[in-house]
Amino acid sequence: MKGINNSKKIKLLLVLLGISLLVFAFFPTLGRYKHRTSHYDLTEWDGSVASKYRSGSGTEVDPYIISNGSEFAYFSSQLKHTDYKGVYFELGNDIVLNKGNASDWATNAPGETWPGIGTKDLPFAGTFDGQGHTVTFQNAMWGMFGFVAGKSGAVVTIQNVKTAGSVQRSPIAHEVTFTHIIGCINGATVTKANENYVGGIVGSVEYTQVGS
């Protein structure tokens, strides 16, 4: 600062100090914004059904990404029209498939319940990768999937997903045929465990491999 008098030096230092304070104040704000959950990112299902998936085209290299409960409900609803044979899906977030606060469910049960994915007439036949995310239920009649069925030479895969909360019957799937269940972990309470064809992961299996 040669040639600058003391008064100007002080003013310049004050300006630089002010800029520094603004920068330090701004970056935490950016951090909070980056991790803020937008309406589109909400993972707690409110009973609504999305009109599409977050992203992807359903191929092995570009799977459909399911990021919230509404998209998961859309996934379930489409099983009325297709079995998704040869189509790939991934979870993009943890998902709570019920309204309400999970810690308060004992006295304040949520208003939405999960219908399950796939029916006996039109079972799921695609590939689903939970990417290590957790799906939480509250006293759902079915777990994530109702009925899953591949064929010899076209085996279905469900992998890397965790479950939590409570479910009346098997948390991952009720009935599976020609399916690989890999790396799935159940943390949900099964409330009708004494019924037939109810298990901690799947209820009824045929030509199916369950493992880590």
28: left (phi over 0), alpha (psi -120 to 50) or beta: alpha
Judged against a pLDDT cut of 70, whether residue 27 lies above it is answered with: no
Q: What is the pLDDT of residue 88?
A: 96
Give the C-alpha separation, 148 to 173, whole Å. 7
Residue 161: exposed, middle, or buried by beta-carbon count in 10 A (0-12, 13-18, 19+)? buried
Q: What is the pLDDT of residue 128?
A: 95
Burial 104-121 (b: 16+ CB within 10 A, else e): ebeeeebebbbebbbeee
32 Cβ neighbours under 8 A, 6+ residues apart: none
Rg (CA), the chain: 24
Q: What is the pLDDT of residue 205?
A: 74
The per-residue pLDDT for range 105-126, each reduced to its tens digit, is 555 555 556 778 888 888 999 9
62 or 151: which leads in pLDDT:
62
189 or 13: which leads in pLDDT:
189
Mean pLDDT of the chain: 76
User: What are the structure tokens assigned to 183, written together?
Assistant: 């790396």
The per-residue pLDDT for range 84-102, each reduced to its tens digit, is 999 999 999 999 886 555 4
Give the C-alpha separation, 17 to 60, whole Å. 53
Across-strand partners of 179? 156
Give the C-alpha separation, 207 to 177, whole Å. 6
The per-residue pLDDT for range 124-171, each reduced to its tens digit, is 999 999 999 999 887 777 788 988 988 887 889 999 999 988 887 788
Nearest CA among 205, 162, 143 for reference residue 180: 205
User: What are the structure tokens assigned to 176, written together?
Assistant: 């599976």
Q: For the whole prediction, is pTM greater than 0.85?
A: no
Q: What is the pLDDT of residue 25?
A: 43
